[in-house]
Amino acid sequence: MRFDPANKLPKRRGSIFVISAPSGTGKSTLIQRLRILVRGLAFSVSYTTRPPRAGEKNGREYFFVSRAEFKQRMARKEFVEWAEVHGHHYGTSWQQLQKAQEAGQDVLLDIDVQGYKKLRRRIPETVSVFLLPPSFRELEKRLRHRHKDAPEVIAKRLEASRKEVAHWKEYDYLIVNDRRATAVQALRDIVLAARWRRECQERRVKEISKTFVGG
């Protein structure tokens, strides 16, 4: 990222990207690959009361906290949005978003449809992507093959997916995660194209346009 020496502000404003998908679609897999492909893309690490899955690390996938701590953070208004998903609380930290935006970094949020609605009300320029599996049956297969959730948890997530998918119309972009490589490429295209949006380039262009005044 290049900085403007005059005021130390980054030339480009960072964007906020939301990715939502029914659990098991492949969102975490695609996000992991996207982050390797695209530089300057931060990931918002949410707070959750869900227990960690095998292989998950505190501070990497999530900050794993107790219900009491989550409530304290809610009371202190630390979350830009929060929601109850599959019986657990999940929340996005205001501070993380602000820090990244101030540094001119893009931030990626993996949040559910309720959280996205709340966020979009507060930050309307949010860029949103809804990921879908090729079919319900394929989603079921992916959840089972992941071997990370108990059968009753899988059943709950599958049931929730029926409602979640109905929200696809509220998103800016739709990607079907059929072939992994194609889906990652599509995500990359969206993130890179957003960097040229007027909102992101405005600061720089205003400086340039000043040089055209008078004379």
Smallest distance from the beta carbon of 164 to ligand ADP, in angstroms?
11
Residues that bind ligand 5GP (CB under 6 A): 20, 23, 46, 50, 81, 83, 85-86, 90-92, 110-112, 114-115
The stretch among 7-15, 45-53, 66-74, 142-150 that binds ligand ADP (CB under 6 A) is: 142-150
Answer yes or no: are the C-beta atoms of 39 and 149 closer than 8 Å.
no
Q: Is 33 among the residues that bind ligand ADP (CB under 6 A)?
A: no
Answer yes or no: are the C-beta atoms of 84 and 50 closer than 8 Å.
no
* HSE, side-chain direction, 13 A CA sphere, residue 91: 24
Smallest distance from the beta carbon of 152 to ligand 5GP, in angstroms?
15
The residue from 20, 49, 128, 177 that contacts ligand ADP (CB under 6 A) is: 177
Question: In the complex with ligand 5GP, which residue's Cβ is closer, 43 or 200?
Answer: 43
Distance CA 92, CA 80 (A): 6
Question: In the complex with ligand ADP, which residue's Cβ is closer, 47 or 130?
Answer: 130
Smallest distance from the beta carbon of 188 to ligand ADP, in angstroms?
15
Residue closest to 143 by CA, chosen among 42, 28, 2, 25: 25
Biggest CA-to-CA distance, the chain: 73
Q: Is 145 among the residues that bind ligand ADP (CB under 6 A)?
A: yes
Binding-site ranges for ligand ADP (CB under 6 A):
21, 23-29, 142, 145-146, 177, 180
